[in-house]
């Protein structure tokens, strides 16, 4: 019984620590895909050099354009565009050859598909009318 009380007190003491202060990111890299964005916050400004992205199992060069950030934001902001639909996460390799796994932000493909399939009644009526016109025009031939 004493052992259980000591263990509970020890766990309670460790659980009541103050949270560690997380430093503000010094740089931010935004990778824009066709459907979503990947945002990587970096604790230090990255070294000059080329970045790479994992695409279909192979590392491909990533054209990153860096610029100074706005006041109150990260000092350096980099952006790159990748011309393919990405999974829920992506692997990036920085110039120091450290690998970063970045989770995508924004709605996923399933949410976008459901959102795009919803049409209002006027659009449905117009589409039905065009379908009838097309069927009538096709039947004349």
Instruction: List pLDDT tens digits, range 100-138.
Output: 888 887 776 667 667 667 777 788 788 889 888 888 888
Tokens 């000591």: give the residue.
Answer: 6
Q: Quick one: residue 72, left, alpha or beta (phi over 0 = left, psi -120 to 50 = alpha)?
A: left
What's the pLDDT tens digit per position in 18-74? 667 666 667 888 888 877 788 888 887 787 888 888 887 888 888 888 887 665 555
Residue 11 has pLDDT above 80, yes or no: no
Nearest CA to 42 among 65, 26, 21? 26
Tokens 């790479």: give the residue.
Answer: 52
The pTM (predicted TM-score) of the whole model is: 0.56
As to burial, measured by CB atoms within 10 angstroms (0-12 exposed, 13-18 middle, 19+ buried), residue 128 is exposed
What backbone torsions phi and psi does residue 3 show, to the nearest 5 degrees? -65, -40
Taking the mean position of all CA atoms in its chain, how far away is CA 128? Answer: 37
State mean pLDDT over 76-100.
Answer: 81
- The residues, any chain, with a CB within 8 Å of residue 102's CB and separated by 6 or more, are 31, 38, 39, 40, 89, 90, 91, 92
């Amino acid at each position: 019984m004493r052992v259980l009380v000591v263990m509970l007190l020890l766990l309670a003491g460790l659980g009541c620590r103050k949270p560690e202060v997380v430093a503000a990111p010094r740089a931010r890299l935004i990778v824009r895909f066709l459907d979503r964005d990947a945002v990587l916050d970096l604790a230090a400004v990255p070294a000059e050099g080329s970045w790479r992205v994992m695409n279909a199992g192979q590392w491909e060069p990533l054209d990153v354009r860096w610029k100074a950030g706005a006041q109150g934001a990260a000092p350096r902001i980099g952006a790159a565009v990748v011309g393919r639909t990405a999974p829920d996460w992506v692997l990036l390799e920085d110039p120091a050859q450290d690998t970063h796994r970045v989770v995508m932000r924004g709605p996923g493909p399933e949410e976008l598909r459901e959102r795009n399939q919803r049409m209002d009644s006027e659009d449905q009526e117009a589409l039905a009318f065009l379908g009838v016109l097309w069927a009538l025009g096709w039947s004349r031939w």
